[in-house]
Structure 1
Amino acid sequence: MQITGSDIHLLTVFDAVVRNGGFSAAQVELGLSQPTISNHITALEQRLGVTLCQRGRRGFLVTEKGLMVHEIAKTLIETLGTHSGHLAALKGNLVGRLKIAVLDCVATDPNFRLPQAIARFSEAAPAVRIELGIARPQDIVGAVLDGTVHVGIGSFDNVLSGLRVTDLYHEDHALYCGAAHPFFGRSETALSEAEITAAPWVHRGYWSRQRRKAVNPTDLDRFADEIEAQLILILSGAYIGLLPLHMAEGHVAAGRLRRLAYSGEDYTCPMQMLTRAGQMPQVNALFTQILAECYG
């Protein structure tokens, strides 16, 4: 079939519906009423000759063919956005979208200068729409590689070919226990490293082996893919674990956490900027230049 401007509009609506998990949830993003969204999806189904989703009392469910159409829609929308940016750059205008994905729990770090970079970039390119999201490092890697995210910020153990990594700063970690943990009230001299090593830990699920404790994890150890989830497990008193200093210091001051004297587990985590290798669109190139200058 020949793709028309109307098809692109309908696919954009469908993309928003899938990402938001239903018609009503997509209303705010699209600025359309639920009946109008439903009519658009029906029109797209008639145009394609396939059922894209099931809707009704049992909820919203994308069909197998609907998932295939959604993948095509995402690729088409991303390609159009990229080429629109290139065309605008020919006229000297910076427009389009800049998609940034960041590791969670970095906003309290005084070394995290993304807000300053966004401020400078917004002044230089006010017409560019910035989309900022939080994601796990492995998800950021995949999204940058397939182009659904333009710039990723985090710490990346496994970087695939076709990507460029730029070191920005370092994030210091230390070992902590919660106020309900048996270690909390123990003096440092009465707490041996053997006891600390044997205690149940909660590890960052995406960290490679070299970032976990030297001994193999036991059946009592747990893994969390978000730093916030790791913090909650430590605050429970059932586990100990590594946390960023900037995140933990407020809880330490409030008496909810204690830093354990276990120097072998203090850790400095490299924080990096991730982009696709090769020539970038002008919008992406300007932002990465500004972000690098904020650390330069």
Structure 2
Amino acid sequence: MGRKKAAISGQLADIDLRLLRVFTAVVDAGGFTAAEIRLNLANSTISNYISDLEKRLDMHLCERGRGGFRLTEQGEVVYAATLELVGALEQFKQRINHSHNRIFGQLHLGFAEHMLGAHNSCIVNAMDSFSQQAPDVHVQISTMSSDEVTTAVMDKQVDIGITVLPHQYPELETLPLFDEEMRLYCAQGHPLFKKQNKEITREELLQFPFVESPRLMPGRETHPDMKLWNKQAKAHHQESRATLILSGHYLGFLPRHLVKNWGLEAQMHPLFIDTYGYTNVFHAITRKKRSNELIINIFNQCLRQSIAGTKKENS
């Protein structure tokens, strides 16, 4: 019997690289459905791409169906080899960038939602500086909840995240950027809305339902009383949380600047500011081990210069 012909006997084509990138995105996401948003592709399209890749490689790469998504042994080999290939391509781009003194490539940023309301200049000034230094870099910005930003950076979905960290991660580098004041809000229609703060006791709060936000999750509470609160609803996105609070049935935390920017100061008022109010610190976060080193370093430097400029203006 003759030796079986190699699945890829010639040069890799652009279609091969595209299919391999789709494959790694599916593996990183943990399945076809989870990869839809990341790839901006329909499930059926992703399935067709993976089938095409399997045909081109003459390999069965993964099991998918009711039992869930799972890589085969051949799939594990292809996934590892693809990561090596993508890393080599990034290194090639970086060497070319240094040689030509021009910067090419992509920068994917993950932003926590609504963070620009109070500190627009810090990010905008950094983006302005970066665009001048690296005009050929393709920039993509994805907006998500604060915890999702951290996950996206850890899972290599984005290069740099700007978010609030619940705790420190040894595998991440962090750069503090700016603060955000959080307050516990009550809205019109709620039994406490017409009461003065001095008329309300902390024990009275135990009678009412709260909306869970990231800082009200177990182990993240900023005050011991929060562990006793009745967290009857969950909304980690701020617009959804504001909707529940505005219904008049729930108490919950929102950024002070958002309530002001949305024109809701007459419909909401804060409770126990000194007791339960807290400050979020936004950080720029990146993986310590990363392939897009040059572009990431340039953007981080732009952030540092923007922060320094802001401090000088305020001093």
Instruction: Tell me the TM-score normalised to structure 2 length.
Output: 0.73
Amino acid at match of 1:5: L
CA distance in 2 between partners of 1:229 and 1:258 (Å): 18
1:274 to 268, 285, 307: 285
| Cα shift at 1:41 | 4.6
Aligned-residue Cα RMSD (Å) equals: 3.8
CA distance in 2 between partners of 1:86 and 1:183 (Å): 59
Give the structure 2 partner of residue 85 of structure 1. Answer: 93
Contact 1:197 1:215 in 2 (8 A): no
Q: Percent identity?
A: 22
1:165 to 174, 179, 182: 174
Q: Deviations over 1:228-257 (max 9, x none)?
A: 322222122221122111111144546332
Structure 1: which 5+ runs fail to align?
Answer: 28-33, 56-60
Give the structure 2 partner of residue 224 of structure 1. Answer: 235
Give the structure 2 partner of residue 287 of structure 1. Answer: 299
Give the structure 1 partner of residue 60 of structure 2. Answer: 50
1:235 to 246, 250, 256: 246
Give the structure 2 partner of residue 5 of structure 1. Answer: 12
| Cα shift at 1:215 | 4.2
Sort the Cα spacing of 1:73 and 1:204 in 2 relative to 1 into closer, same or farther, 3 A.
Answer: farther
| Cα shift at 1:267 | 1.1
Greater mean alpha carbon deviation, residues 165-174 or residues 254-263: 254-263
Contact 1:103 1:154 in 2 (8 A): yes
Give the structure 1 partner of residue 220 of structure 2. Answer: 209
Sort the Cα spacing of 1:127 and 1:212 in 2 relative to 1 into closer, same or farther, 3 A.
Answer: farther
Sort the Cα spacing of 1:130 and 1:248 in 2 relative to 1 into closer, same or farther, 3 A.
Answer: same
Q: Deviations over 1:262-292 (max 9, x none)?
A: 4201111111111233787211111000011
Instruction: Tell me the TM-score normalised to structure 1 length.
Output: 0.77
Sort the Cα spacing of 1:85 and 1:230 in 2 relative to 1 into closer, same or farther, 3 A.
Answer: farther
Amino acid at match of 2:253: L
Amino acid at match of 1:90: H
CA distance in 2 between partners of 1:80 and 1:254 (Å): 53
| Cα shift at 1:216 | 1.9
Q: Runs in 1 of length 4+ with deviation above 6 angstroms?
A: none
Sort the Cα spacing of 1:218 and 1:196 in 2 relative to 1 into closer, same or farther, 3 A.
Answer: closer
Count residues with an aligned counterpart: 284
CA distance in 1 between partners of 2:144 and 2:58 (Å): 33
CA distance in 2 between partners of 1:73 and 1:62 (Å): 23
Give the structure 2 partner of residue 30 of structure 1. Answer: none
Give the structure 2 partner of residue 151 of structure 1. Answer: 160
- Residues 1:180 and 2:189 are matched in the alignment: yes
